[in-house]
Structure 1
């Protein structure tokens, strides 16, 4: 069916992971964390340039006011984590799953994502600008007041997401389907909407937004 594609999931085997702490990343000179399972940990005010996290599960981990610039994150699962207001500028995120994570105000500005899934995540006020997104799914996520501008998209899907008051500028949405997601208002430029699939109510809003047309039913 058009609009569907296969995802590559994180390549890891939980049976072969070592229990540890996120702070083990400081044991390596190049800030490397690999083959780990980290649970129920609080990480506060950490600033790391180019950390590398591979084949790792983070479960119920809270990151508070952290910045990981140019992070390299691959084959990683975040479960029930709190990443609110954390910053991942210019990072590379490959084959990563975020499951039921709290990500209010989280910034991925300038990052590259390939084979990334967000399931049931709270992403209100997040900064998703200037990103290169290839094969990404957002399922049952809240993106209220999120910024989604100046992005390059390839095989990106939104399913049952709350997009209310989202800001979208200078992002080609051709082939993107918003019809099974929801918004009452959205800030978007007209060029970005070309080729965007919407439902009847969303079409009526966009007609009013751009053309001051009122649609009656």
Structure 2
């Protein structure tokens, strides 16, 4: 399902109430609207977010470890140095958001969409991603090491220096990616779907990984 472009189009838009004050450890946020707020050095580990909206917010060095995030809609927000380790995401979307230095290792993402987002040095090591879409995104130095990518797609996205070492791919569709540049883990592309032109671009690195010497002399 394509996430809505406008806040007013959310099925729970009329139920949203504005958030005030800091975040809380094991907080319970149900139909809450976080709008143009700045959170820095705050802790909300183990919190629950259900049918919430985040618009034009900044989160800096904030910890949301082991949080449960269901039906979250976020747009125009910046996440810097945030810990989302071992968090659990379901039916959520982030649009035009920036994620830099975010730790999300060990997280589980189900039916999550990233649209026009920039992910820079995001740690997704040992995450499980099911039916996750990266649409028109830039993924730079993203670590997918030991992750499980099942039904993940990258339409219109640029993948730069991504790490795939010991990752497991199943029905991961890379055909829509604009560029595919891996820092390691070419052997983990088993289980991915790529186009013939992408295969030609990847051929030298794949040959090197497999120990194949290509020479015409």
- Shorter chain as denominator, the TM-score bin is 0.7 to 0.9
Local SS of the residue matching 1:187: strand
Deviation of 1:151 after TM superposition, in Å, equals: 1.1
1:71-110 matches, cutoff 5 A? 71-110=67-106
Q: Is the 8 A contact 1:112 1:131 kept in 2?
A: yes
Distance 1:205 1:75, change over 3 A: same
Distance 1:44 1:134, change over 3 A: same
What residue ranges of structure 1 are gaps of 5+ in the alignment?
A: 1-5
> What's the TM-score once normalised by structure 2's chain length?
0.85
**Residue number in structure 2 paired with 1:3:** none
**Residue number in structure 2 paired with 1:17:** 16
Q: Distance in 2 between matches of 1:58 and 1:67?
A: 16
**Residue number in structure 2 paired with 1:140:** 136
Deviation of 1:95 after TM superposition, in Å, equals: 1.1
Q: Is the 8 A contact 2:26 2:44 kept in 1?
A: no
Task: Give yes or no for the alignment of 1:111 onto 2:107.
Answer: yes
Equivalent position to 1:38, from 29, 34, 37:
34
Give the total of aligned pairs.
Answer: 208
What residue ranges of structure 2 are gaps of 5+ in the alignment?
A: none
Q: Is the 8 A contact 1:7 1:115 kept in 2?
A: no
Deviation of 1:164 after TM superposition, in Å, equals: 1.4
Distance 1:214 1:118, change over 3 A: farther
More deviation, 177-186/44-53 = 177-186
Q: Distance in 1 between matches of 2:148 and 2:180?
A: 25
**Residue number in structure 2 paired with 1:153:** 149
**Residue number in structure 2 paired with 1:51:** 47
Q: Distance in 1 between matches of 2:100 and 2:213?
A: 34
More deviation, 159-168/191-200 = 191-200
Higher relative contact order (CA 8 A, sep 6+): 1
Q: Is the 8 A contact 1:103 1:126 kept in 2?
A: yes
> What's the TM-score once normalised by structure 1's chain length?
0.85
Distance 1:14 1:104, change over 3 A: same
Local SS of the residue matching 1:173: strand
What is the Cα-based RMSD across aligned positions, in Å?
2.5
Deviation of 1:154 after TM superposition, in Å, equals: 2.0
